[in-house]
Structure 1
Amino acid sequence: MTDDLLGRHRAVLPDWLALYYEDPLEITHGEGRHVWDAHGNRYLDFFGGILTTMTAHALPEVTKAVSEQAGRIVHSSTLYLNRPMVELAERVAKLSGIPDARVFFTTSGTEANDTALLLATAYRRSNTILAMRNSYHGRSFSSVGITGNRSWSPTSLSPLQTLYVHGGVRTRGPYASLSDDDFIAACVDDLVDLLGHTRAPAALIAEPIQGVGGFTSPPDGLYAAFREVLHERGILWIADEVQTGWGRTGEHFWGWQAHGRNGPPDIMTFAKGIGNGMSIGGVVARSEIMNCLDSNSISTFGGTQITMAAGLANLTYLLEHDLQGNSRRVGGLLIERLRAAAAQVPAVREVRGRGLMIGIEITRPGTDEADPQAAAAVLEAAREGGLLIGKGGGHNTSSLRVAPPLSLNVAEAEEGAAILENALRSIQ
């Protein structure tokens, strides 16, 4: 029973391991864009295991690839040649846009970002990292140390010196009232001033759209403008595509492409959606950066055959069915539907995002003051209506996160929007 499972969970797992809902949910199976709980209730899934279920639950092409690979060999480590790993690396390298790219597979986005930091600091001989305010890059000691979101940074200790740059949140902070062009100019001036007060950093790491931060983003072109400043000084640009990659934003295959007038990033990290639930992360970098390490290394579980088989099948399905285009079309309809609904709810400060990556910020009506209790109430009400969504945000977790599988159809988008509209109205 779920109640007994909750008691067992609390008895053996850490107190800081967060659970959604006052009555936590056990998901037992899924199909398409729907999941079922242990009591047989069906839900439309608009969060996909924190953006990991990129195409669909129980996608036949992926489950078949996993089953067939499991029947051959599950794992052998990177000490041996691995055909599925090489094949997926070839495809990712080409899709990345990074010239002469090398790919290293990990088991998570946290580990991918940790590896990117290792590469950048070794290549630049500097342990100073620039990161964005309101950012989140993972749970390891190094990635927590560059997380600019207090709610998700449990320690101030870090092996890195981290300097936080302004610009990840367009509608808050000292530059919020400026036009997009003036906002970018002010953030660039802030960056230049910051660099004048420190030793040369190794890299800037940035999410094109901040995930845990509540799906916030700067105006298009900010990171291109940053890169001009960074490139002059030899500072690397790391694009954290753990949540924005693989076409989720609709307009672009990678989030960095909204800021790409000066070319691709030096290093790019990815994870979550590529495995459709299987544990895959990775780093793409120019060869001279990836090959800068002067010691041996392996990955026991990174790139294991069964996860690579899943990734290959999932990526093939995504490209053949143009799920990026579907994200653009259906996501555009969904965000306009949610904006229309939110216009009638004073507690909604902003509906933002692009493609199937949509944030709804909840505040006390008439103010910019976060209202995490109201956001939690909407989360509960949506569940009662048969819809699962996420939450986040840099201001006391007061943003709702909407990120369905990229195969979402128009009817499901309308159904989810109607449930969410009722949930939002319930807090008035």
Structure 2
Amino acid sequence: MTDDLLGRHRSVLPDWLALYYDKPLEITHGEGRHVWDSDGNRYLDFFGGILTTMTAHALPEVTKAVSEQAGRIVHSSTLYLNRPMVELAERIAKLSGIPDARVFFTTSGTEANDTALMLATSYRRSNTVLAMRNSYHGRSFSSVGITGNRGWSPTSLSPLQTLYVHGGVRTRGPFAALDDYDFVAACVDDLKDLLGHTRPPAALIAEPIQGVGGFTSPPDGLYAAFREVLREHGVLWIADEVQTGWGRTGEHFWGWQAHSRSGPPDMLTFAKGIGNGMSIGGVVARAEVMNCLDANSISTFGGTQITMAAGLANLNYLLEHDLQGNARRVGGLLIERLRAAAAQVPAVREVRGRGLMIGIELARPGTDEADPAAASAVLEAAREGGLLIGKGGGHDTSALRVAPPLSLSVAEAEEGAAILERALRGPS
């Protein structure tokens, strides 16, 4: 059945639509932290549909909310008042930390970042945008144009002038050998120099932890230091929280809070986990920025009642069960367990991350040369062992991405770590 489905997939869908595994997998259902394929195999899910199944598969509170809302009305568009949308916007505005916040809902992180770019360039009357090297911000024409990861940027054509800044990757690049203090200072000096050679940009957009880039991050405080420089030039700061938001990093509810010396960003974008699989994205911005557009706009599907009901139920569950705290506790155990295992594997260059957002970078032993073939082999071996993980990285996809639902138990973390350790060690 899966082979037939694969043939049908290839005959009607684009060649560039990526599929994992030599024998692609059809996932038919899930429960908790597990999913099953069409052959009846059960897997521990450490990737959650690309960090989207944030709380748990088939979470009863969310499925009940979706079912009940579907029995009333599924959709009406933003042309009409929408109680679930207003209620979720009120919650998110308060949680964002942005003063006098306004919220606009979209259907994806790509669309959220696209909207943030439109707001920033309109507000600042500039089409120049600063972005980080190794970054990923989505699949639309504008968001591809600011993506600093070659593997996910299929065109150099763009409506924006994008300038790339150092600092998103701590252990590679010209400043990698510096200690954290000097690394931040060097990146700030580079930013100042860059701003001296260009017209004032609209904004800097940055992921606090780079997702597709392999869960890389700068030292805490880098973006706060950047913010002080940006403010002198009137440049906005957009925090792309599509993967880092909602407590996944454990230590903070938002990734930007690791860089909070200068306060919250001017805008933050979100998506993925808040819907627990339903299509929700959005932008939070200061009112003067959000309201800067001088033409009408709507969203046909952004904020539709059924997705808002799911988001409200999911957010309530997240907060009531302290899943941020669970990410901190269980994620801390998991990363230490993986570091201990990786210390015995010469191909592992680095284990990094925080909370339940962990990257394992592979390189050819004794070198810093990326080894994408090894990453693919580990991905396959983990599946054979009953574990689903992801891949990423800016150097030919040589990093493994580990991001389970935030309700992961200690026993499941130990089980997944053991499977991953065997996969890293390879055939005995």
- TM, length-normalised to structure 1: 1.00
- What is the DSSP-based 3-state SS (H/G/I as helix, E as strand, rest coil) of the residue aligned with 2:412? helix
Within 2, Cα distance between the matches of 1:412 and 1:179?
35
What's the CA shift string for 1:26-81, capped at 9, x where partnerless?
Answer: 00000000000000000000000000000000000000000000000000000000
In structure 1, C-alpha distance between the alignment counterparts of 2:258 and 2:17, rounded to whole Å: 34
Query: Shift in Å at residue 427 of structure 1?
Result: 6.5
Counterpart contact for 1:246–1:324, Cα < 8 Å: yes
Q: Which residue of 2 aligns with 1:342?
A: 342
TM superposition shift of 1:226: 0.0
**What is the rounded CA distance, in whole Å, between the counterparts of 1:199 and 1:150 in structure 2?**
25
Runs of 4+ aligned structure 1 residues displaced above 3 Å come to none
Structure 2 counterpart of 1:279: 279
**Does the C-alpha gap of structure 1 residues 41 and 186 become closer, same or farther in structure 2, counting only changes over 3 Å?**
same
Is the Cα–Cα contact under 8 Å of residues 377 and 427 in structure 1 kept in the other structure?
Answer: no
**Distance in 2 between residues matched to 1:365 and 1:147, nearest whole Å:** 30
Name the CA distance, whole Å, in 2 between partners of 1:380 and 1:133. Answer: 29
After superposition, the C-alpha distances for 1:148-194 in whole angstroms (9 at most, x for unaligned) are 00000000000000000000000000100101000000000000000
What is the CA–CA distance in structure 2 between the aligned matches of 1:232 and 1:305, rounded to whole Å? Answer: 41
Uncovered stretches (5+) of structure 2, i.e. residues with no partner: none
What is the rounded CA distance, in whole Å, between the counterparts of 2:366 and 2:242 in structure 1?
34
Kept after mapping to 2: 8 A contact 1:352/1:360: yes
Write out per-residue CA displacement over residues 107-131 of structure 1, whole angstroms, 9 at most, x where no aligned residue. 0000000000000000000000000
3-state SS of paired residue (1:261): helix
Structure-2 separation of matches of 1:134 and 1:116: 20
Deviations 1:86-141 (A, max 9, x none): 00000000000000000000000000000000000000000000000000000000
Once the two structures are TM-superposed, the CA of residue 240 in structure 1 deviates from its matched residue by: 0.0
State the shift of 1:370 in Å.
Answer: 0.6
- Name the CA distance, whole Å, in 2 between partners of 1:287 and 1:63: 33
Aligned counterparts of 2:241 and 2:292: Cα–Cα separation in 1: 22
Cα shift readout 1:275-327 (whole Å, capped 9, x = no counterpart): 00000000000000000000000000000000000000000000000000000
Secondary structure of 1:239's aligned partner: strand
Is 1:417–2:417 an aligned residue pair?
A: yes
3-state secondary structure, aligned to 1:58: coil
RMSD: 0.5
Contact kept, 8 Å, 1:209 with 1:244, in 2: the verdict is yes
Rounded Cα–Cα distance in structure 1 between residues aligned with 2:122 and 2:174? 35
In structure 1, what is the Cα distance between the partners aligned to 2:112 and 2:164? 20
Distance 1:260 1:5 in 2: 48
Contact 1:378 1:427 in 2 (8 A): no
Displacement after TM superposition at 1:415 (Å): 0.1
Counterpart CA distance in 1 for 2:268 and 2:149 is: 21
Spell out, residue by residue over 1:210-251, the C-alpha distance to the aligned partner (whole angstroms, 9 max, x if none): 000000000000000000000111000000000000000000
Partners of 1:71 and 1:321 lie apart in 2 by 27
Q: Is the 8 A contact 1:374 1:427 kept in 2?
A: no
3-state SS of paired residue (2:36): strand
Distance in 1 between the 2:203 and 2:127 partners?
Answer: 9
| CA displacement 1:360-395 (0-9 Å, x = unmatched) | 000000101011001000000000000000000000
- Once residues 173 and 201 of structure 1 are traced to their aligned partners in structure 2, the CA distance between those partners, rounded to angstroms, is 24
Contact persistence 1:248–1:327 (CA under 8 A):
yes
In structure 2, the partner of 1:140 is: 140
- Residue aligned with 2:71, SS: helix
Q: Distance in 1 between matches of 2:110 and 2:260?
A: 24
How far off is 1:413 after superposition? 0.1
Q: What secondary structure does 1:360 align onto?
A: strand
Whole-angstrom CA distance in 2 between matches of 1:49 and 1:61: 19
C-alpha contact 1:130 1:163 (8 A) present in aligned 2: yes
> Does 1:121 pair with 2:135?
no
Aligned residues: 428
Aligned-partner Cα distance in 2 for 1:227–1:367: 35
Question: Kindly, what percent of the aligned residue pairs are identical?
Answer: 91
Rounded Cα–Cα distance in structure 2 between residues aligned with 1:133 and 1:32: 36
1: CA distance between counterparts of 2:155 and 2:18? Answer: 17
C-alpha separation between the residues in 2 aligned to 1:127 and 1:233?
15
Contact conserved, 1:32 with 1:59, CA < 8 A, in 2?
yes
TM-score of the aligned structures, taking structure 2 as reference length: 1.00
Could you tell me how far apart the structure 2 residues matched to 1:264 and 1:234 are?
15
Q: Aligned to 1:361, what secondary structure does the other structure show?
A: strand
Following superposition, the deviation at residue 19 of structure 1 comes to 0.2
Aligned to 1:130: 130
Q: In structure 2, what is the Cα distance between the partners aligned to 1:392 and 1:367?
A: 19
1:401-427, CA deviations, whole angstroms, 9 ceiling, x for partnerless residues?
000000000000000000000000006
Tell me what 1:94 maps to: 94
Contact 1:351 1:359 in 2 (8 A): yes
